[in-house]
Amino acid sequence: MTIRDDHALAADLATEAGERLLRVRERVGFADSAALRAEGDRSSHVYLMESLARLRPSDSVLSEEATREERLDPRRLTAERVWIVDPLDGTREFSEEGRADWAVHVALWERGKLAAGAVALPAQGRTLTTAEPPKLPSFDKGRFRIAVSRTRPPEFVQKLAYLVGADLVPIGSAGAKISAVLTGEVEAYVHAGGQYEWDSAAPVAVALAAGAHASRIDGSEATYNQADPSLPDILVSLPELAASLLAGIRDLHR
């Protein structure tokens, strides 16, 4: 692996981890979904942690699959550079044969901001990255589509869709949903059912680099590398839809 910079490193690591996960699917099979999920989480986490320890030994790492003690290590809070990774986002979809809405997230937080990131969508054969941010699709006025959780769509999003004139599209992982905004499959993603920093850091980094809107659902900036990694809600949309979505959310929460 030839590393040019942090953007390229994020893309290379996410892509390689994704290719390894495809091989795990082939090797383990789908008969025992729990075993497949466990092996996917474990193997991708080990690969990313070993790679970052070798290639960026001075940096800290916050990974979903780390132990609780590792995630709460106070040294992370004083570090200038922290990699925030989700080795397998959308574990449920990963274990279902034929589904392609799962992802690998690799993001770099540096001195208070997301500095680089990549989202690999291995079963779709692509990686979205801050190295070459995707060109946002254009949007003509009219009804649009909002990506929501397959299994636990927030009730308020159904009301929001009615209010702003949108249709809901169930998709698996958060990374797949935010990527769908960037590739034109939907125009927005709204979530308020509870998430953590690793669920959105990498896709938000790519979305911001592409010029999309990304914020908390109250319009405030999503901040990362906090002592408590809970980041329960997120809004990502084409920039021209952000104002109406934020206004709709605000009206529903009055």
The per-residue DSSP string of 43-95 comes to HHHHHHHHHHHHHSTTSEEEETTS-HHHHT-THHHH-SEEEEEEEEE-HHHHT
In this predicted structure, what is the pLDDT of residue 152? Answer: 72
Is 110 a known ligand-binding residue? no
Looking at the structure, tell me whether residues 24 and 92 fall in a common domain: yes
pTM exceeds 0.75 = yes
Q: Rounded CA gap, 242 and 254, in Å?
A: 18
Looking at the structure, tell me whether residues 219 and 119 fall in a common domain: no
Q: Rounded CA gap, 224 and 113, in Å?
A: 7
Looking at the structure, tell me whether residues 186 and 103 fall in a common domain: no
CATH number at 125 reads 3.30.540.10
Is 32 a known ligand-binding residue? no
Looking at the structure, tell me whether residues 103 and 159 fall in a common domain: no
Looking at the structure, tell me whether residues 110 and 152 fall in a common domain: no
Q: Considering the domain boundaries, does residue 139 fall inside one?
A: no
Is the pLDDT assigned to residue 3 strictly greater than 60? no
Is 86 a known ligand-binding residue? yes
Is 89 a known ligand-binding residue? yes
Of 101, 129, 157, the one marking the end of a domain is 129
Looking at the structure, tell me whether residues 68 and 44 fall in a common domain: yes
The average pLDDT across 22-51 equals: 97
Is the pLDDT assigned to residue 2 strictly greater than 50? no
Most confident of 3-12, 60-69, 211-220: 211-220
Domain that residue 172 falls in: 144-253
pLDDT digits (tens, 9 = 90+) for 129-186: 999 999 999 887 889 999 998 877 778 899 999 999 999 999 999 999 999 999 999 9
Looking at the structure, tell me whether residues 125 and 148 fall in a common domain: no
In this predicted structure, what is the pLDDT of residue 151? Answer: 78
Number of separate domains in the chain: 2
Q: Considering the domain boundaries, does residue 137 fall inside one?
A: no
The average pLDDT across 35-58 equals: 97
Measured in degrees and rounded to the nearest 5, phi and psi for residue 26 equal: -65, -40
